[in-house]
Structure 1
Amino acid sequence: MKEIILMICCAALLLACGNKITSKRMPASQRVITENKAQGNITDHPDYNTGIQLVRQSDCFTCHKISEAFVAPSFTEVANKYRSYSDSIVRHLAGRVITGGSGVWGILPMTPHADLSKDDAAAMIRYILLLKQ
């Protein structure tokens, strides 16, 4: 029980610190240099630039990393879990980003992002789904 409380306190501390990346340049550890062979270079995809800009402007990198689990699952893990891309999946995941929630990836909740529009959240999700391997 103490471990759970400690994990929740650590997660709350990380979330409280925030990590808004507002510069146009992203740290090397968070750059995506991955190619999806089926789609070619993902940076050429129209959803890539819009989505990555919105992710950079948000607090996503406080808990998520591109290709390794941190406080929350990596974007690559999320993309691989939802491999079957559809508009309904994008709407569902965008709703989860806006309202927050827990239980899918463990006990730590994702904080709500109520200030995001549905269109912006959907653009972020479309970017994340491009990262599947």
Structure 2
Amino acid sequence: MKKLILTGMLASLVIVSCSKKEATAEVPQQESNVMLEEPTEKAEAAVAMSPEEEGKQLVEGTDCMSCHKIDAQLVGPSYHDVAAKYTEADIDMLANKIIEGGKGNWGEIPMTPHTGLSPENAKLMVKYILSQKK
């Protein structure tokens, strides 16, 4: 008798559980007419960033700082040394070096290629690096 009662309770529990899921699954999501928030100062600040600031964020968001430092040689040259050696006329060439990698300009240790980087972002990174002139 106890087994029959337990089986009946279990069956009714399963039916109730399943029926609730179906009921919630059938309820269509309603469209919201709530207005979105206006852009904040943070969004406006992102638009007003200089190319050098954008480049700095890109450099900090990649693996560059694992081989380069701003003011001291690590694996690769410091950004101060790169900025002292190159000018604004070298932006395209340096951006290409970042994307394709290379070796020989600063020793025999090769620079890792960053093939997933767009030329525009690489140029922003170079502008930041060149802005590090002493």
TM-score between the two structures when normalised by the length of structure 1: 0.62
Matches within 5 A, 1:82-97: 82=86, 84-86=87-89, 89-97=90-98
Matches within 5 A, 1:44-55: 46-55=50-59
Q: Corresponding residue for 1:118? A: 119
Structure 2 unpaired stretches of 5+ = 1-48
CA distance in 2, matches of 1:57, 1:109: 21
Instruction: Report the aligned-residue RMSD.
Output: 1.1
CA distance in 2, matches of 1:48, 1:100: 21
Provide the secondary structure at the position in 1 that maps to 2:51: helix
CA distance in 2, matches of 1:49, 1:112: 23
- 1:46 Cα deviation from its structure 2 partner: 1.8
Q: Corresponding residue for 2:63? A: 59
- 1:58 Cα deviation from its structure 2 partner: 0.6
TM-score between the two structures when normalised by the length of structure 2: 0.62
Q: Corresponding residue for 1:70? A: 74
CA distance in 2, matches of 1:48, 1:125: 8
Matches within 5 A, 1:25-36: none
Larger radius of gyration: 2
Question: Structure 1 stretches (4+) deviating beyond 2 angstroms?
Answer: none
Q: AA paired with 2:82?
A: V
Which structure carries more helix by proportion? Answer: 2
Q: How many residues align?
A: 86
- 1:51 Cα deviation from its structure 2 partner: 0.6
Provide the identity percentage: 44
CA distance in 1, matches of 2:51, 2:78: 19
Q: Corresponding residue for 2:101? A: 100
- 1:48 Cα deviation from its structure 2 partner: 2.1
Q: AA paired with 1:95?
A: N
Q: AA paired with 1:85?
A: E
